Amino acid sequence: MSGIILCRSKYGASAKYAEWLSQETGFKVTDTKKADIKEVAKYDTVVLGGGVYASSIAGIAFLKKNISALKGKNIYVYCCGMAPLSEEVLGILKKKNLSGELSDIPLFYYQGKWDMNDLNLSDKAMMKLYIKMLEKKDPSELKEYDRPMLEVKDKTMDWTDKKNLGPLLELIRSKGE
Ligand SMILES: Cc1cc2nc3c(=O)[nH]c(=O)nc-3n(C[C@H](O)[C@H](O)[C@H](O)COP(=O)(O)O)c2cc1C
C-alpha cells in the first residue's frame, strides 16, 4: 500500500515523528505547505502531522480543504504539543481540529519539545504573555493542560520517543502498508 506523510513543524518534534514514520513505512515526507492535492490523492494512506499552536494543529487546513478529494483513503492525524496526554487535551484538540467531515479521522497525540530560548520572536512574546497571564491566576483555577506550562516554562524539554508511534504504525499496517 502506498502512503505519504504531510508535516508542518516549527520546532522539530512533529518533523522527528515524520522522519521515524517514514523510516518504518517507506512513505515519503512532504511539507504540508508545499503539498499538492493532485499528488497526495495518488496515495492510499495519508498521514498528516503537525505541531500544536494555541490548540490548532499546524497544516490541518489542508485536510479541511481537500477532504472530499481524499474520500476512501486511510487518513490519520498526529500532533505534538507540550501538555501531557489526557482525555481533556485530546477532547480540546478533536473539537478544534477534527470536527464535521474530519470527525472520524483517528488522532494521535504526542508530547513534543519545549525550549523558550528556541522560539521565534513572536512566539516567544506570545508565550511569555500567556505564562504571565497564567501566573496571575489562582492555582485552583488553572486548567489541567495549563499547569505543565508553568512547570516547564524555563526548562528545555524533549519528550519525543519513537516508541510512541507504536499504535499509529499498527493501525497503518493493519490496513496493509
Ligand atoms: C506559540 C505557541 C503556542 C503553543 N500552544 C500550545 C498549545 O495550545 N498546547 C500545547 O500542548 N502546546 C502548545 N505549544 C507547545 C508546542 O506544541 C510544542 O513545542 C511542540 O513541540 C510544537 O511542535 P513542533 O516541535 O513540531 O513545532 C505551543 C508552542 C508555541 C510556540
Q: Is 9 part of a structural domain of the chain?
A: yes
Q: Measuring from atom 4 of ligand 1, which residue has the nearest CA? A: 53
The enclosing domain of 104 has a CATH number of: 3.40.50.360
* CA–CA separation, 75 and 65 (whole Å): 14
d(CA 92, CA 90): 6
Is 5 strand, coil or helix? Answer: strand
Positive/negative CA dihedral, 118, 113, 46, 67: negative
How far apart (Å, rounded) are the C-alpha atoms in residues 150 and 134? Answer: 8
Say which DSSP state 48 is in: E
Q: Which residue out of 53, 92, 110, 113 has the highest number of ligand 1 atoms within 8 Å of its CB and is therefore the one to mutate?
A: 53
Task: Identify whether 139 is part of a domain.
Answer: no
Residue 120 placed within a domain: no
Q: Which tens digits make up the pLDDT trace of 41-53? A: 999 999 999 999 9
Percentage above 90 pLDDT, the chain: 89
pTM of whole model > 0.85?
yes
Percent pLDDT > 70 in the chain is: 99
* Number of folded domains that form the chain: 1
- From the CA of 123, give the closest atom in ligand 1: 1
- Alpha-carbon distance of 61 to 78, in angstroms, equals 14
Residue 137 within a domain: no
CA distance 148 to 48: 26
- pLDDT tens for 128-138 read 999 999 999 99
Residue 107 lies in a domain: yes
Residues having CB within 6 Å of any atom of ligand 1: 9-15, 51-55, 80-83, 112-114, 119, 123, 126-127
Is 7 within the bounds of a domain? Answer: yes
Pick from 83, 87, 104: nearest CA to 146:
83
Residue 130 lies in a domain: no
| Cα–ligand 1 centroid distance for 9 (angstroms) | 10
* Residue with CA at minimum distance from ligand 1 atom 30: 53
Do the beta carbons of residue 169 and residue 176 sit within 8 Å? Answer: no
Q: Indicate whether 54 pLDDT > 90.
A: yes
Whether residue 133 is contained in a domain is answered as no
Q: How far is the CA of 2 from the centre of ligand 1 (A)?
A: 30
Residue numbers of the domain that contains 77: 3-114+158-174
